[in-house]
Amino acid sequence: MAVVPVVPIVPSTGTGWGTTSGIVPASGLDTTLSGPWRIEEQEMGIQYLRMPTYGNATESHSLSGPTRTIATTSTHIAHIVWARFSVTKSYDIFSTSAWTQPQTFQINALSADPYGNTYGGVSNSAIGPMGTINTKEKWYSRRAWDDATDAVISEVMGGGTQHFFYNLQADPDSYKDGTEYFGDFKHTRPGNWQADTFLADSEYNYQFASQPYWLGGNYSTSQEDPLQIQMYITRAGDDIMNLQYFGLFTEFTVGAAGPVRDRGCPSYRTSRHTF
C-alpha cells in the first residue's frame, strides 16, 4: 500500500495556545487583589510516529542472485515537539491571592500507520502507531510580583528527535530536517550503514539522536501500558528543558560534526506535569 504522507504540525510561536479554566480575571472584587502578579505558564505538544528498525532475518547467496528477508527488530517513536514557557506581569484583578494548576495532557491516537496498517486498539493505555499529545490544561502559577527577583520571560521552541542525510560530510546540503520525510518508512535502512533495498545512495536516510519509547520486536498495542506512556511524555519534557532537539525548518542548523541539537525551553519542568 502506498504511503499516505504525514503533514507535520507547524509549531505556533504565538501566545494564544488555548485557555485555562478557573483563573480568569474577576470583576467587582477587592482591588487589593489587583497585583501586580507574577503569572507563570507552560505547555507542550507532540506529534508522534512509531518508526521501525529493520534487520536481516534470512539471506542466501548464489551466482544467479542473492535473496534477503528483512524483519522489524524493534520500534521507537520519532516526534516533532513544540513548547512554550512564559512569565508575565499582570495587574488584572483575581478572586484569590495565589493560584497553581498542574499541566495535563490529552492523547489523540490513531490506530493506523501512514500505510493503513493497524496493530490493535488505541486508548489511554496504548497511543498506537501515530497521533498527537496536546496540553489539555497548561501549567499555571500566580503569586504576587517581586521586583527584587522577578522578570518577564518568554521561551518558545519547536524541534525533532530526527533528521535525514545522504552522506557523512558536514555539508548543509547533505541534511534535511526532521519534517522532510516524516511518516515515510522507506527512509529507514535495515541498518544505519548497511546497503539496503529501499534507497539509492543519493536518497536521504532517516537518522535519530535517541529512540524514545523503544519496544522490541514487531509492534503491537498490547506492548504498551500507561506507565510507559507517562515516562515517554516526561522524557519529551526533559529533553525540552535540556535543549536536546534538532531545530526545524530555518532553525535546523548543521555544524562541523553534523546537525546541532540546541532547541528547547530551559525553564520548562516536568515536575509541573500530572497524569
pLDDT tens digits, the chain, 275 residues: what are they? 444 444 444 333 333 333 343 444 444 444 557 779 999 999 999 999 999 988 878 889 999 888 888 889 899 999 999 999 999 999 998 888 899 999 999 999 999 999 999 999 998 889 999 999 999 999 999 999 999 999 999 999 999 998 777 765 555 578 887 888 888 887 776 554 555 556 666 677 777 888 899 999 999 999 999 999 999 999 999 999 999 999 999 898 888 888 889 999 999 999 999 99
Q: Give pLDDT, residue 213.
A: 95
Distances (CA, A) of 219 to 51, 78, 216, 222: 10, 14, 8, 8
What is the SS3 assignment for 108?
Answer: strand
- Do residues 204 and 164 touch, judged by C-beta distance below 8 A? yes
Write down the pTM of the prediction. 0.83
What is the SS3 assignment for 90?
Answer: strand
Q: Give pLDDT, residue 16.
A: 33
164: its cell numbers: 535525514
Which residue has 474577576 as its cell numbers? Answer: 26
> What is the CA angle 75-229-82, rounded to 5?
90
Q: Give pLDDT, residue 14.
A: 35
Q: CA gyration radius for the chain?
A: 22
Residues in the chain: 275
Distance in angstroms between the alpha carbons of the first and the last residue of the chain: 37
